[in-house]
Chains A and B, each alone.
Chain A
Amino acid sequence: MSEIAPEAVAEQVTPSTPDATAEVGRARLRTEDARLITGRTTWTDNIQLPGLLHVAFLRSPISHARITRIDAEDARRRPGVIAVVTGADLAGEQGSLPCAWPVTEDMVLPDHPPVAVDEVRYVGEPVAAVVARDRYAAVDALEAIDIDYEPLPAVVDMERAIEEGTGLVHADKGTNTSYTWVFEAGEPDAAFRDAPVVIERRYVQQRLIPTAMEPRAVVCSAVGDEYTLWSATQIPHILRLMLATVTGIPEHRLRVIAPDVGGGFGSKLQVYGEEVVCLLLARRLGRPVKWTESRSEGNMAVHHGRDQIQRLSLAADRDGRIRGLKVDLLADMGAYLMLVTPGIPLLGAFMFNGIYKMDAYSFRCTGVFTNKTPTDAYRGAGRPEATFGIERMMDELAAELGLDPLEVRRRNWIAHEEFPYDTISGLTYDSGNYEAATEKAMRLFDYDKLRAEQADRRDRGDPVQLGIGVSTFTEMCGLAPSRVLGSLSYGAGGWEHASVRVLPSGKVEVVTGSSAHGQGHETAWAQIAADRLGVPFEDVRVLHGDTSVSPKGMDTYGSRSLAVGGVALYNACDKVVDKARRMAAHLLEADEGDLEFSGGSFSVKGVPGQARTLQEVALAAFAAHDLPEGFEPSLDSEATHDPENFSFPHGTHLCAVEVDTETGFVKIRSYVAVDDVGKVVNPLIVEGQVHGGLAQGIAQALYEEAVYDADGNLTTTTMADYLVPSAADLPTFTTDRTETPATTNPLGVKGVGEAGTIASTPAVVNAIVDALRPYGVDDVPMPCTPERVWRALRAAQSGQAPPGGSPEPGAGGGLGSAGGAA
């Protein structure tokens, strides 16, 4: 296919150029950089307090075992050791780590003690903690703790886990199935009956380790009955409430601070046992404690992401029109349900239909316990898995029908004039223009030329084949409308809070409940406030990440900060202006209705020279000598915003790969991403988010996998084994945007944090399969390492079963990966 109907490419989708004086839309350099490029940062591990003690955790070396004896006496006698505690020591106070998302009434929810008491269920689970005068002494003493384990059967394979007669992760529960969640729309059976084309595939979403560059760290101090806990967390507000609930320490006695946080990607959207234990230790010892994990323990004990087996069936007509889609998932929960573990795969339930129209849809997800590290949110959380599934299936459909993959998509996608559109899974997509994004991406990619080169290489039998991968994705973000979360049994709402303080000098403090950890809120929020209030950008300071400074918030994840928190700020600014208008009218002895507010100044319509700036009004309100009747002497305002709908960024990503058919080596030749994230506050930050997202999505396609052996040992515990790509492993991206504003919020923004990750994985795998399809290959399991590509080719040529259909050796995951999962 060479073109998209040009009339569809509406003018308004070209990104807007803001007027020169506006802050929103400007590529402002970030204010937060100043401390980060000079090393003047406050990472949690940088914090020193008088009398600080250091904590180290002893972790289970066995995936499933009963603890029959622990002897910590030698460790307690080691020099510099202040205390050693085991699960039994903490049993009376440690409670059970929370799961906030009981997805079904009968979901199996096991107890999850922060430190294992009598049974361990994954390698890396804490079994004891040492408190010592310094890091080295604490780690030294771990060696002196003597534990006897009685091994129990390790459950490592999801498909086997749900069969009768398999060992149980939680014997008292009698099952390895946590829940089964179903959704159905239309009449799936009817859609499949007599369908001329039915495609069935099994895809594996391998397990990933989020790998924020800053390892987790916690510092906790107790002064009397007041507690302060610093943590490398994405969620200071949620953490405070949950720690109070778990430990019984009253919420108002507990302050949680997320200082500079070195990335999260979902991994720090968690309530971790180590956080609970540090709090309890500070309380017991009356001294501040610090714990910082090593990368090797982090790989075992930070929650993992993805890990699904997807069985997908797609029914279509001969012309490529989709009739229906059936999705059957097994989702690995790991050994316990953590904060939102069971809900993660369900975030994909509404996204498997992607940007396409269809008559019927069914979704079924079974959450399965295994003796592995618990899973939970990782960048995209449920939506990358869904997008991968549908975008791979669209390519399979195209291949089946002999159509160009973009043509099959065009025949099924929602046309731009059909918005707002109610999808088969029950969401209302408010805006978008898939034609425009695709047209732009094809142009930047030089689609036809690459297809011609592909044909040429095929004709010549070039050992290096060219493949072109398509991903026309959408996602739901801006988590989330509280009523929807309620209907999904989530334990909280999805609003966000902001407050704006106009100081007597006219400077402005913005307090946000979003908790940035690399996203650049300090810059973008100041841009929004500067515009709304008409004050200089430099006069705005953004405060966040400390429950005493910012008492209300729902924190940062799910690409929610701007679409929810940014809108809260927008609304709070408007309230400031409303108050100031009343005050200004009083000062100007004019009617409120006769005032105009622009450029930070109130003026009386038609009376030149009669004006008061916001700063003057703020000072007058502060002085409070002469106020309107009943006016409180302050302009300060706050707003809590609960979104009416999700937002739906979308885009078209095109990837060209060169695949060496002799070695299996894959090289990304070019990558074009055209994203529509609605209105943009700061294009520099948006581009950066896309780059980083692409890197993580490509990494899933090509490099990363958490590999377990048959006994449940994680073999990718270090960065030498778990392959986070370096600069040398990634291509230069071509990124661009189209812009259809979100209609569900006044900023018109959609969110960008996860888009790149969600879109890119299927683009890359589709490209690899496209290169090899003439050889009979229709799947390569991720990560598509040279060995796996090579095996897929050999298997196809010798007429063996396709590699996606059954477990096979040759996992990715580096040095320790022999015989890994498939």
Chain B
Amino acid sequence: MPHVSVDVDGVRYEDEVEARLLLTHYLRDRLGKVGTPIGCDTSNCGACTVLMDGLSVKSCSVLAVQADGHEITTVEGLGDGQDLHPMQRAFHEEHALQCGYCTPGMIMAALDLLRDNADPSDEEIRAGLEGNLCRCTGYQNIVRAVRRAADGMRQAERPEEARS
């Protein structure tokens, strides 16, 4: 069986895995990182979205072996200690979740969206999150949350921008 060495939320794991094992099952069933759920089997819903080296991937369409040597961030690795990440806080404050099943994937996809575009319009947010389905919220508050997080994150960055 192939050997993988993966960094997940700041912890290094070394494992032997079946070549066909999906990253999402590796995270959930082998590492107990169950914060990232699964919503489909055709890479449509985005519930399983995580960051691989900072870029969002649907962990159901990545093999565990493809994550070898890479760094994975899940929703469980956001924030630091007691403090929520601004995106998590914005989802809470804008009531951008109901059942919350889509939320981890939505948050990770939104982070990737802001990496590309720090100040997206509503339309750009809607287009950027097209790969993440939510059945509960009608998306309106998700759009608001992403905008709020974007504003907050840009403001937090501004001192650095001013220096550079």
Query: What residues of chain A have their CB less than 8 Å away from a CB belonging to chain B?
Result: 29-30, 32-41, 43, 45-46, 48, 134-136, 211-215, 260-263, 265, 294-296, 517-520, 684-685, 687-689, 691-696, 718-720, 724, 726-728, 730, 732-733, 756
Contact = CB atoms under 8 A, between A and B. Distances in A.
B22 to A, nearest CB: 10
A37 B100 contact: yes
A213 B38 contact: no
For the complex of A and B, the 9 pairs showing the least CB-CB separation, nearest first, are A39-B35, A36-B100, A518-B99, A262-B101, A691-B138, A719-B44, A695-B138, A46-B34, A518-B98
Contacts of A696: 135
Contacts of A43: 34, 37, 101
Nearest to B9: A39
A40 B35 contact: yes
B103 interface: yes
Interface in B65-112: 74-76, 78-79, 84, 88, 91-93, 95, 97-104, 107
Given A263-B135, A727-B127, A728-B126, 6 more contacts: A29-B93, A37-B91, A48-B32, A294-B40, A517-B99, A689-B98
Task: Kindly name the residue among B88, B95, B138 whose own CB sees the greatest number of chain A CB atoms within 10 A.
Answer: B138
Interface in B21-65: 21, 25, 28-29, 32-42, 44-45, 47
B116 interface: no
A444 to B, nearest CB: 15
A295 B21 CA distance: 18
Given A33-B97, A37-B100, A39-B36, A295 B135 contact: no
Contact of B39 (A214, A518, A691): A214
A762 B101 CA distance: 29
Contact of B98 (A215, A294, A688): A688
Interface of B, secondary structure class, is: loop
Given A41-B35, A295-B42, A718-B44, A36 B137 contact: no
A38 B138 contact: no
B5 interface: no
Given A37-B103, A688-B141, A691-B137, A30 B95 contact: yes
Contacts of A294: 40-41
9 contacts: A37-B88, A37-B92, A38-B75, A38-B79, A39-B34, A39-B74, A295-B42, A696-B135, A726-B129
A733 B37 CA distance: 29
Contact of B143 (A30, A135, A263, A727): A727
B95 A213 contact: no
A29 B95 contact: yes
Contacts of A730: 126, 138-139
Nearest to B41: A294
Interface in B105-151: 107, 122, 125-127, 129-143
Nearest to B47: A213
A724 B99 contact: no
Contacts of B102: 213
A691 to B, nearest CB: 3
A719 B97 contact: no
Task: Kindly name the residue among A43, A694, A727 whose own CB sees the greatest number of chain B CB atoms within 10 A.
Answer: A727
Contacts of B28: 45-46
B40 to A, nearest CB: 4
B92 A727 contact: no
A726 B35 contact: no
Nearest to A35: B100
Nearest to B99: A518
B33 to A, nearest CB: 8
Contact of A691 (B44, B79, B141): B141
Contacts of A215: 38-39
A260 B140 contact: no
Task: Kindly name the residue among B37, B40, B136 whose own CB sees the greatest number of chain A CB atoms within 10 A.
Answer: B136
B16 interface: no
Given A37-B84, A262-B100, A688-B98, A213 B136 contact: yes
Contacts of A720: 42, 44
B88 A260 contact: no
B126 A37 contact: no
Contacts of A688: 95, 98, 136-137, 141
B120 to A, nearest CB: 12
Nearest to B107: A37
Given A41-B35, A733-B140, A518 B122 contact: no
Contacts of A35: 100
Nearest to B74: A39
B137 to A, nearest CB: 5
A685 B95 contact: yes
A480 B12 CA distance: 54
A279 B21 CA distance: 28
Contacts of B21: 136
A216 to B, nearest CB: 12
Contacts of B37: 41, 43, 45, 214, 262
A215 to B, nearest CB: 7
Contacts of A727: 125-127, 129-130, 132, 134, 139, 142-143
Contacts of B39: 213-215, 295
Nearest to A697: B138
Contacts of B84: 37-38
B138 A719 contact: no
Given A33-B97, A213-B99, A726-B131, A694 B34 contact: no
